[in-house]
Amino acid sequence: MAWPPPTAKQSHTPPPFRWGADLRGPLSVRATVAAILLCGLAGRPQAPTAKPAAEYAGSGTCAACHEEVAKAFRKNPHQRVGTGREWKGRACESCHGPGAKHAESASAPDILNPAKASPTRSEKVCLSCHSGQLAQLGRIHGGHGRNQIACSACHTIHGRPEQLKLNNAAVVNRQCRSCHTAEWAEFLRPHTHRLIQGAMACTDCHNPHGSSRPRSAQTVSGNEPGCFRCHGDKRGPFPFEHAPVRLEGCGACHEPHGSVNPRMLVRAEVRFLCLECHSNVGSRPALGGIPPAFHDLRSARYRNCTICHSRIHGSFVSRGLTR
């Protein structure tokens, strides 16, 4: 449980590092210091920031004024922080920092409130414990991390466990919708995944903390695209692959949030969807062969490519993806 470095306002509690303030200098110097630190990493717990015990007020003092918060916090998973060695009896201060001064003055500026602090600051409080969790690994790739969306924007820290960790699909979707209104509108179309109905949550497909895949998409079975969690019959590998499925993903042909076209296709007619790629004449190298001349588009048979090429996601049997 490493406490993040305090701000200048809390300079009475010297931090172990001041965000590189001790390490200013040419990049090579910092790189050397980083290497030393890497090599010297002992893996032992960081001391809970050698702060004088007098600075802490204890959770009991906090509860005297913040009665409602303390009551709700008793059922919160974070309350366990206060039972460990490092923060015994000081669970509140594990996130809010030393509270003795605030307890005396009852003044808000005398204590850190992560919900009102800058996102960088409040994120650091949460990540001091949660940064290594699997869900957080793609944080830097994700849009929320890039845009400094604070953890408290989605998680209610003091509340009931279900407010802290959102498991109910309807609640998750409502939370995402509050910002992603345009994406929510896509689910109002007739052909969609069953998200509005509560059968799915946004987090079934996206990792809100970030992921190395585009659009923070989830993965399954190691590094396979998350789509295969449900659409297992499209997983393959196929002896006869359809290249776009692997190279561009499902989004090459489908609008996963919803479409006015059946099967959530990105085009109203199947032939255009196929022929837009399968027309490589006179163009610079791009994938997609040319259908032979007997494909007479005046006949309805040939306007619906998936009538014959029914195994369009890949075939175990036929190179032409027909069976």
Q: Segment contacting other proteins (CB under 8 A): 54-62, 89-97, 98-106, 303-311? A: 303-311
The correct pick among 219, 249, 254, 256 for binding other proteins (CB under 8 A) is 219
In the chain, the N- to C-terminal Cα span, in Å, equals: 57
User: Closest CB to other proteins among 66 and 78?
Assistant: 78
Cis peptide before 237 (omega within 30 of 0): yes
Q: Is 319 in the site for other proteins (CB under 8 A)?
A: yes
C-beta contacts of 107-115 below 8 A and 24+ residues apart: 109/9, 112/6, 112/7, 112/10, 114/150, 114/151, 114/152, 114/157, 115/150, 115/152, 115/157
Closest CB to other proteins among residues 11, 167: 167
Using CB under 8 A as the binding rule, whether residue 156 contacts other proteins is answered as no
**Number of residues near other proteins (by CB under 8 A):** 142
Q: Tell me if 174 contacts other proteins by CB under 8 A.
A: no
Report yes or no: 182 and 257 within 8 Å, Cβ to Cβ. Answer: no
Contact call for residues 288 and 253 (beta carbons, < 8 A): no
Answer yes or no whether residue 28 interacts with other proteins by CB under 8 A: no
Element (H, E) at 182: helix 181-186
Alpha-carbon distance of 282 to 5, in angstroms, equals: 61
Query: SS3 for 30?
Result: helix
What CA–CA distance (Å, rounded) separates 271 from 291? 11
Which region among 50-58, 62-70, 98-106, 310-318 touches other proteins (by CB under 8 A)?
310-318
Separate counts of helices (H) and strands (E) for the chain: 15, 4
Of the listed pieces 54-62, 88-96, 101-109, 115-123, which binds other proteins according to CB under 8 A?
115-123
Segment 178 to 197, residues that bind other proteins, using CB under 8 A: 178-182, 184-186, 188-191, 194, 197
* Torsion, Cα of 216, 222, 225, 227 (10° steps): -100
Min dist. Cβ of residue 97 to other proteins (A): 15
- Closest approach, Cβ 86 to other proteins, in A, equals 10
C-alpha span between 312 and 306 (Å, rounded): 7
Angstrom distance (rounded) from CA 129 to CA 124? 9
Looking at 5, 6, 58, 98, which residue binds other proteins (CB under 8 A)? Answer: 5
**Residue 12 contacts other proteins per CB under 8 A:** no
* Shortest reach from residue 145's CB to other proteins, in Å: 8
Q: Does 65 bind other proteins (CB under 8 A)?
A: no
Task: Please identify which residue in 217, 222, 254, 313 interacts with other proteins, judged by CB under 8 A.
Answer: 222
11 touching other proteins, by CB under 8 A: no
Contact positions with other proteins (CB under 8 A) in 283-302: 283-302
Contact region for other proteins (CB under 8 A) — 53-61, 65-73, 103-111, 114-122? 114-122
